[in-house]
Amino acid sequence: MRALLAELERDFDALESDAPASWGGLVEPLERIGERLSRSWGAVGHLMGVANSDPLREAHAQVQPEVVRFSLRLVQSLPVFRGLTGLRESDDWELLDPDRRRGVEILLRDAKLSGVGLEGAQRERFNRIQIELAELGTQFSNHVLDATKAFSLLLRDPAEVAGLPASWRELAAQSARAAGEEEATAERGPWLATLDSPSYVPVLQHAEWRELRETVYRAQIGRASDGELDNAPLIERILELRREEARLLGFASYAELSLASKMAPDVAAVRALLEELRGVSLAAARSEHEQLEAFARECGQEEPLRHWDVFFWAERLRERRYAYTDEELRPYFPLPRVLEGLFGLAERLFDVRIRAADGQAPVWHPDVRFFRVFDAADSPLAAFYLDPYSRSESKRGGAWMDECQGRSLALVPPGEPASLPVAHLVCNQTPQLGDRPSLMSFDEVMTLFHEFGHGLQHMLTRVDCGLVSGIRNVEWDAVELPSQFMENWCYERDTLGGMAAHWQTGQPLPEELFDKLRSARTFRSGSQMLRQLFYGFTDLALHQDFVAGDGESAFDVERRVSEGTSVLPPLPENRFLCSFGHIFAGGYAAGYYSYKWAEVLSADAFAAFEEAGLDDEPALRAVGRRFRETVLALGGSRPAMEVYEAFRGREPDPAPLLRHSGLA
């Protein structure tokens, strides 16, 4: 990285010394510098998430400030800013195609939001803030990973794992063997419970031993909240620095700064949407909770319903109402078969072909796979890595898509076609056990479809200008549109029928089970929506109104928000914020609302397919091609609303979201 930075510094020195107001003389060299930096540093950042280690952390910490400083130099360069302004005001401006004009406009906007207008002490202070925020974000993420790894609970008594499914016991026995219990078996134990999702979620849903549920729940909400891994001081500092950053740039709050580059017009519009959704979900959530309390009492729980009881009794109630269990579904969702169904859907809707290309690219772990994407004429379009399984020792939790390489003309010789996009798709699902494939829960299937949707927008772009191709510079509150859109297909009959087959017998998912799965789609949807609104309101409150050290802590804010967005108030010792990486170590600061904002778009987009007729294959394919040519192809080359209107023919309607959620 240091060798690359030295080379890029020399290139940028030469560019600044001239900085002509032209595309070829200024923007193309600037994009080449940015591409080379982002590809290399992006690989480092990716490995921090999927192959974390102490030596890598140490090297990252040494180089990160230098990368941030050079990145700031790029966006704060007055010669470059003047050159870009001159280009926009020149006669050549109208000769540029819309993609390039959009790219220049975004460069100018980002320069302003990155302090190009600051001078002297203010600029120095702004830059110090950026370096410290980058370091704090990395520390926050490392603390969460370390705290997750630090917790484990070895269970030896079969009574302690009563109710837990066979798939959990097999995974827990495998974890126990890896921890030194060489004789551990799924039948006899011992079993190792952890905070990785494939272990943690089943415990809350199925463990009959209430004390086990309470133990893992308290461990989960207390991650990274004490000792050397305590993220609480980092939270206060991050919020303080973000507020100061916003003030330096002339914004009243960090939320206003965040929204300056998003689809939502202002904080009031965001709050209006969240409040509208809260109004329809709160009453439903309260009713759902009352039903759950009554059901738990009916089943013999005399104690009041606590946080570690909710998922357990919700799962029992769902099983009673719809007469199936998640474990019944797992054998029908082996990962290889799910991938076949997912790729088949992409072929139906978007006319692409996806083929395994394992061994054609280096990977960071033996479980990682590599695929190539082709068009109908067999011309290459893109490629992607898939890293599907959880690895608590080196991989952070959650699921995400990120770019490995973007579509761009910046790094190819003149006259050559643009570089093809390559994506990273990362999940944390149940791993394969021995010769048995990964048998996925339905939630894990949905997650894979979600991340693949992000990947499609990155990979199917037709934009050659790397500044705005694929997911680049798609407004953050619109970027979840393709991902959440893809989730809907998990409930569509042909799609599910194309991927759900028993891993041993090959028998398709029984029709009765499919009908039950679809019927259960809106089960406790009020509670699920309210939970997301709680996160969104908390994020907004912390970045709009909160002032660190002003008599109220970030945890006080969280509790205050919960009064209007939770039917079961958080425990006093809840420290969920200490592991809320989305807003403290990711890109969702003052933007968590984006999930709901984009869900309005995604539900309305799927409604276009419903209106065409889900059983009308020609009509379905026609709408799919239109979705590909707009939402997936145009990426960040147009404002998100303009792209959406090009697909739908109108602005988005929130009615389909409420209908799909059963809350209309």
Active-site residues, by number, are 451
433 close to 174: Cβ distance less than 8 angstroms: yes
**Helices 2-18/28-50 angle, 10° precision:** 160
**Helices 210-221/307-322 angle, 10° precision:** 120
d(CA 361, CA 369): 9
What residues contact 226, with CB distance under 8 A and at least 6 apart?
none
Among 151, 149, 152, which residue's Cα sits nearest to residue 141?
Answer: 149
Beta-bridge mates of residue 403: 423
637 close to 465: Cβ distance less than 8 angstroms: yes
How distant, in Å, are the alpha carbons of 147, 238, 370, 585 from that of 232?
A: 13, 10, 39, 13
Among 501, 505, 564, 504, which residue's Cα sits nearest to residue 530?
Answer: 564
d(CA 557, CA 580): 14
Is the peptide bond between 190 and the residue preceding it cis, with omega within 30 degrees of 0?
yes
352 close to 460: Cβ distance less than 8 angstroms: yes
319 close to 206: Cβ distance less than 8 angstroms: no
Q: DSSP character for 207? A: -
Q: Which two tokens stand for residue 511?
A: 């029709």
Query: Per residue, what are the HEC states of 39-60?
Result: HHHHHHHHHHHHCCCHHHHHHH
d(CA 569, CA 575): 13
Q: DSSP character for 417? A: P
Among 444, 463, 460, 455, which residue's Cα sits nearest to residue 479?
Answer: 455
Q: Which two tokens stand for residue 98?
A: 């819309």
Q: Kind of pairing, strands 422-429 and 380-389?
A: parallel
d(CA 133, CA 142): 14
Tracing tokens 């973007």 back to the chain, one arrives at 406
Write b or e for each residue in 89-127: b if 16 or more Cβ atoms lie within 10 A of its Cβ, otherwise e.
Answer: eeeeeeebeebbbbbbebbbeebbbbbbbbeeeebeebb
